[in-house]
């Protein structure tokens, strides 16, 4: 179950960057670092690499337990890509491999992703719905089992000017959301604060974003209950 859930991170991180970046620069790589108390780079959280057309080709995520998750994407045509995901253990050996088949619409928005297990079975289905402007409305993740399906849904809610205001995550269509993400913006229409609310646990995490003059995130700061110090991350970019 852990590996199936972790695969969500690629789309959510890519989606978040679409809302936070202005897209005026041709980004080649993005590296996100966790900083120590002196704001020096402590460890890499993830590394992303894009081709000259802005399509993600490599994504490496470094988990807290020492495991590494490596995604490699190959685009066969404008409507289809194959994503190979390798999981490396703490000895840097490949522990398992998962294949994703991604399907896109004419606007290059992903509309469906099929996760194929090592035996060739479809172990996960992710579906996406968009409005007429190309804004994502619903993301559904289905984990088929022998007698039923485990469904995780993300609902995207927009406000004035088409700004993303909330993301509601529900599990198996339960009435109470599992998590709620709320966004606020500055005068340049950049997200400056995000609050992640966990209603079932009665707790929340506050995240503040900082930008450079090009409108790219340079730093994010997390305030987490029961943690005396804030957790800070830094972003480093290279360009074509």
Share above pLDDT 90 across residues of the chain, in percent, rounded to a whole number: 63
The residue ranking higher by pLDDT, 12 or 131, is 131
Closest of 142, 135, 173 to residue 156, by C-alpha: 135
CB 2 within 8 A of CB 203: no
Tokens 């994503």, residue located: 83
Q: What is the average per-residue pLDDT within 62-82?
A: 94
Query: Cβ contacts of residue 48 below 8 Å, gap of 6+?
Result: 13, 29, 30, 31, 56, 58, 59, 60
Query: Cβ contacts of residue 207 below 8 Å, gap of 6+?
Result: 193, 194, 195, 196, 220, 221, 222, 223
DSSP 3-state percent helix, strand, coil across the chain (nearest 5): 10, 60, 35
> Cα–Cα distances in Å, from 109 out to 9, 92, 102, 126?
17, 34, 10, 13
Going by their DSSP bridges, the two strands 94-104 and 80-88 should be labelled as antiparallel
Q: How far apart are CA 20 and CA 216, in angstroms?
A: 7
Tell me the CB-side half-sphere exposure of residue 90, using CA atoms within 13 A.
3
Kindly tell me if the per-residue pLDDT of 217 is higher than 80.
yes
Task: Specify the pLDDT at position 23.
Answer: 55
Mean pLDDT for the chain? 86
Task: Specify the pLDDT at position 147.
Answer: 60
Q: How far apart are CA 191 and CA 179, in angstroms?
A: 19
CB 189 within 8 A of CB 161: yes
Element at 13 (helix H, strand E): helix 8-20
Task: Specify the pLDDT at position 148.
Answer: 65
Kindly tell me if the per-residue pLDDT of 77 is higher than 70.
yes
Report pLDDT digits (tens) over 129-163. Answer: 999 999 999 999 998 765 667 888 999 999 988 89
Query: Cβ contacts of residue 162 below 8 Å, gap of 6+?
Result: 133, 135
Give 122-131 contacts, CB < 8 A, sequence gap 24+.
Answer: 123/4, 123/98, 124/4, 124/7, 126/11, 130/105
Identity of the highest mean pLDDT range in 116-125, 148-157, 177-186: 177-186
Tokens 């996100």, residue located: 32
Report pLDDT digits (tens) over 160-177. Answer: 888 999 999 998 867 788
Q: What is the DSSP letter of 161?
A: G
Q: What end-to-end distance do the CA atoms of the chain give, in Å? A: 38
Closest of 53, 46, 64, 63 to residue 10, by C-alpha: 46
Kindly tell me if the per-residue pLDDT of 9 is higher than 50.
no
Task: Specify the pLDDT at position 137.
Answer: 96
Residue 237 token pair: 């970019």
């Amino acid at each position: 179950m852990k590996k199936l859930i972790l695969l969500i991170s690629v789309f959510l991180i890519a989606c978040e960057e679409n809302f936070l970046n202005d897209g005026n620069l041709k980004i080649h790589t993005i590296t996100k670092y966790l900083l120590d108390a002196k704001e020096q780079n402590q460890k890499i959280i993830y590394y992303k690499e894009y081709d000259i057309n802005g399509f993600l080709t490599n994504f490496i995520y470094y988990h807290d337990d020492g495991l590494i998750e490596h995604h490699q994407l190959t685009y066969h045509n404008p409507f289809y890509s194959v994503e190979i995901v390798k999981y490396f253990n703490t000895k840097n050996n490949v522990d398992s491999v998962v294949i994703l088949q991604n399907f896109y619409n004419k606007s290059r928005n992903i509309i469906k992703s099929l996760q194929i297990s090592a035996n060739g079975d479809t172990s996960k289905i992710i579906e996406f719905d968009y409005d007429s402007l190309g804004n994502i409305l619903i993301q559904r993740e289905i984990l088929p089992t022998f007698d039923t399906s485990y469904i995780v849904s993300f609902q995207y809610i927009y406000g004035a000017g088409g700004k993303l205001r909330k993301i509601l995550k529900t599990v198996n269509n339960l009435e109470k959301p599992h998590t709620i993400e709320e966004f606020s913006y500055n005068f340049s229409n950049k997200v400056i604060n995000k609050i992640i609310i966990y209603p079932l646990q009665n707790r929340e995490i506050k995240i503040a974003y900082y930008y450079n003059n090009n409108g790219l995130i340079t730093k994010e700061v997390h305030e987490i209950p029961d943690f005396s110090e804030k957790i800070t991350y830094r972003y480093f970019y290279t360009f074509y």
